[in-house]
Amino acid sequence: MSATAALAPARKVPVIAEQYAFIMPSHLPVNTPIIFEVTSRDVNHDFGIYNPQGHLMAQVQAMPDYTNYLRVVFQEPGQYSARCLEYCGIGHAIMAKTFTVGGK
Ligand SMILES: [Cu+2]
């Protein structure tokens, strides 16, 4: 983590998983500690974050009636994606959300 990120205040970002989408912001800041607050509206899902190179960089379960916290610092601007990593029904394979880090 850069010194800048260590000093920046953390930002809480709610994430709601549902069949078959992630409800979350489309833009997030770079070099800022993000605390994802992850829950589910229906069944168990998994919130997996892929970096611009397509590599899994962080993941946490998304569970109904429960909030899991995932702390991430995005050090590289670009296009990221969240994908569900736990089979949750017929639409599981298309359950994804792209988001941009950095920029406006
Ligand atoms: Cu799924």
Q: Domains of the chain, with CATH numbers?
A: 3-101 (2.60.40.420)
pLDDT of residue 90: 97
* DSSP β-ladder status, 33-40 and 11-18: parallel
How far is ligand 1, taken at its centre, from the CA of residue 4, in Å? 35
Tokens of 46: 């998994």
By C-alpha distance, which of 61, 64, 7 is closest to 36? 61
Q: What is the pLDDT of residues 32-45, one digit of tens each?
A: 999 999 999 999 99
Determine the Cα–Cα distance for residues 10 and 19; give it in Å rounded to an integer.
Answer: 29
Per-residue pLDDT at 1 exceeds 70: no
Q: 30 or 4, which is more confident?
A: 30
Note residues around ion ligand 1 (Cβ under 5 angstroms).
45, 84, 88, 92, 95
Per-residue pLDDT at 77 exceeds 90: yes
In sequence order, what E strands does 7-55 have? 11-18, 21-23, 27-28, 33-40, 45-50
Q: 17 or 1, which is more confident?
A: 17
Determine the Cα–Cα distance for residues 76 and 60; give it in Å rounded to an integer.
Answer: 21
How far is ligand 1, taken at its centre, from the CA of residue 2, in Å? 33
How far is ligand 1, taken at its centre, from the CA of residue 80, in Å? 18
Residue 4 pLDDT class (50, 70, 90 cuts): low
How far is ligand 1, taken at its centre, from the CA of residue 20, in Å? 7
